[in-house]
Amino acid sequence: MFYYKRGDIEVTDPWERPSKESFESFLIDFQQLKGIQNYQVYLVGAFCENYYLGTNRETWDVDLILRGDIQDYTELKDILDKSIEIGFKHNILIDIAWRNCLPNLNLFPQEKIITYTDAIQYTSETEWSQIVEGEIKELLLGLYYVKFNPSKAYNKFINKKYILPYKKLKL
């Protein structure tokens, strides 16, 4: 048994750890999304290093950050939702958000736009849930602006000692 729900998206098939092949298959569909050309897209975190540096950091997801001026919140929500759906089509978990800046040693994002305020996962062995912390403002149905204290995420980022914390994708 498996069940995962984040925002409007629900799945009953577990995903695999991301690989170079699954990510490249994802990218073929992802770059066709309407409006994606309006944003800069960055691969961040452990999979960024695995993909570009050939490291073998343990991760269960692919983290993407969108940057740029938002022209249309409905289009942004569609990009965020469809990115996750495309990820599941390719059997990988995509964690994607618009962020006010990119993570680095001196500055860490404290604002994001996402499509959920909580997530849950059940398997036959485990039960997991996550509630988004911070000041949350609903921009439109199912799209949330979140301002949060970045210290927990920043400390996690620092402790991982990334060599390549992010890289802009060429779409």
Q: In which residue are the tokens 């969108």 written? A: 66
3-state secondary structure of 153: helix
Instruction: Kindly tell me if the per-residue pLDDT of 151 is higher than 90.
Output: no
Neighbour-count burial of 94, counting CB atoms closer than 10 A to its CB (0-12 exposed, 13-18 middle, 19+ buried): buried
- Return all residues near 60 (Cβ < 8 A) that are at least 6 apart: 15, 17, 18, 93
Q: How many domains does the chain have?
A: 1
Neighbour-count burial of 124, counting CB atoms closer than 10 A to its CB (0-12 exposed, 13-18 middle, 19+ buried): exposed
Q: Which domain holds residue 11?
A: 2-168
What is the structure's pLDDT at 157? Answer: 86
- The span from the first CA to the last CA of the chain, in angstroms, equals 36
Mean pLDDT on 1-10? 96
What is the structure's pLDDT at 152? Answer: 83
3-state secondary structure of 165: coil
pTM summary value:
0.95
3-state secondary structure of 133: coil
Mean pLDDT on 8-25? 97
